[in-house]
Amino acid sequence: MPPGIRLPTLTGKTINSLQLSSTNNLGRFVGRNVPWLGWVMTFTTIYDIQRNIKDTFNRVAVPKDRIKWTYF
């Protein structure tokens, strides 16, 4: 990294102990942020699957049995 450039990273083992720290090492930046990217991708995939299940069910169900609102 060029001198003076510091990249922000989240550090901590639990949600309560999260802290924002900076590093000038690209490997540390990638290593600390890839797990967060994985969690975001996991939750996005779960949300998409649940939404598609609801939409598919509503297409095939009779109108009185359709799901009007869900929490996901």
pLDDT in tens, the chain (72 residues): 678 899 999 888 888 888 999 999 999 999 988 988 999 999 999 999 989 998 999 999 998 888 877 665
The domain in which residue 34 lies consists of 7-65
**What does the pLDDT read at residue 4?**
84
Query: Max Cα separation, the chain?
Result: 65
**What does the pLDDT read at residue 56?**
93
Instruction: Report d(CA 13, CA 20) in Å as an integer.
Output: 12
Asked if residue 21 belongs to a domain, the reply is yes
Global pTM reads 0.64
Asked if residue 71 belongs to a domain, the reply is no
Domain count, the chain: 1
**What does the pLDDT read at residue 45?**
97
Asked if residue 72 belongs to a domain, the reply is no
- The answer for 53, left when phi > 0, alpha when psi is -120 to 50, beta otherwise, is alpha
Asked if residue 30 belongs to a domain, the reply is yes
Q: How far is CA 24 from the centre of its chain?
A: 25
Instruction: Report d(CA 53, CA 58) in Å as an integer.
Output: 9
**What does the pLDDT read at residue 43?**
95
